[in-house]
Each structure stands twice: as C-alpha cells, then as structure tokens.
Amino acid sequence: MFKNKIIKNSRALSYSMPFLEHLSLCDREVAQPSKSDPETIEREAFERGFESGEKAGYEMGEQKAVLLLEPLKKLLKEIYSLKEKMLGELEPQMVLLSINVARKILKEELQSRPEIAEVMIKEAVKKISPIGPITIKLNRPLYDLITKKKKEFQEIFPDLILELDTRIPGSGAVVGNFSQEIQTDLDFQLSNVIEDLRGYMENA
C-alpha cells in the first residue's frame, strides 16, 4: 500500500542510457586509462631506453668499423704500391740475367751446331724484300759453309751474292739489298733487347 501511494504521486520521466559517442573529447580522454600509472610509465621508459641503447650501439659499431677499415685500406694500398715497385725494379733485372744466361747457352750451341746459323741466314733472306740482288756478308767459317750450300739459298732467291767480310762476328751474317739490312748475329740481336730494357728501366 505504501508503494502504491508513491507510484500514484510520482511523475514518470523518460531516461536514455548514455553512449560513448556522445562524450566530448575531454570526456574521452578522461575515459581512457591513465598513463600516469606506474606500470605504464615503467613500460614506456623501458621501451625508450631500449631504442636509445640500440641506436647508440649501432652508431658505435659503425664508427668502429670505419676506424678499422681505414687502416686496412691504407695497408692494401701500400702492398699494391710495393708490389708495383718490386716488379718495376726486379723484373727488368731478372730479364737481363736471363738474357745473359741465354747468350752463353746459344753461343755454345752455335759453335757445336753451325747449321743453326745457316737457318737464321735463310730466314733473313726470306724477310728481305725481293727487289734487286741480295748480298750476304759472312766471316770466313760461315762463308765457306754457305758457299757449299749456295744452291739451297738460290732456291729461296736466285739473285744472291755471297761476300766475305772479316768484320762480321763469327756467329752471324749481314743480309741485305739496297734498301734493307738484317743482322743475324746473336750478340747484335741480344744487345738490341738489352738496350730496350735499359730504356724501360730508366723511364720506369
């Protein structure tokens, strides 16, 4: 009965449930969890510290790598320079030594096998331009040898003249016509090579 009386004397009012979309921006911020709680502050501080430490570590590692690379590059450059210097100084000397050894061996070979000098003279005759007569100047030992085989040389070039010249070294001959001349002397050929090498060493 008491309840019925209250209901009769009261006035009914309409009421709607509040929705979040009706809240203002300030209200929303208030509605969000507070960032000032200890757990959030600690987590954010840890994340910032980790990122800063990672960045600092990477930068430090990069700086160390650069510091290590610079001496390495300098060392490699010095090694290459030293290599070029050694090659420039030692290679011509080794070649000269090899030529001197070869000169001695070839001289001994020519003395024991005169047919080698004969082959060299034939090659010189083939290289001379076939214009006019070709003269072969020889010292006494080679002159006697080639005279015996003159027909073989005339098969290469018919208009051939043999000339005795005691000034010609024993291991070679001078083959030529009015426009060309070839020396088959071993010492002459090697001397040209040595002079070329000396010029290279002076200009290196």
Matching CATH number, 97-203, of 1.10.10.60, 3.30.2320.30, 3.40.50.12280, 3.20.20.140: 3.30.2320.30
Average of per-residue pLDDT across 127-139: 89
- Looking at per-residue confidence, does 204 or 156 come out higher? 156
Residues near 128 by beta carbon (within 8 Å), at least 6 away in sequence: 134, 157, 175, 176, 177, 180, 182
Give residue 175's pLDDT.
93
pTM: 0.48
Residue spans of the domains in the chain: they are 97-203
How many percent of the chain have pLDDT more than 70?
50
Residues near 6 by beta carbon (within 8 Å), at least 6 away in sequence: none
* Position 134 confidence tier, pLDDT thresholds 50, 70, 90: very high
pLDDT tens, position by position, 19-48 = 444 444 444 444 444 455 666 666 666 566
Q: Cβ–Cβ contacts within 10 Å for residue 78, how many? A: 10
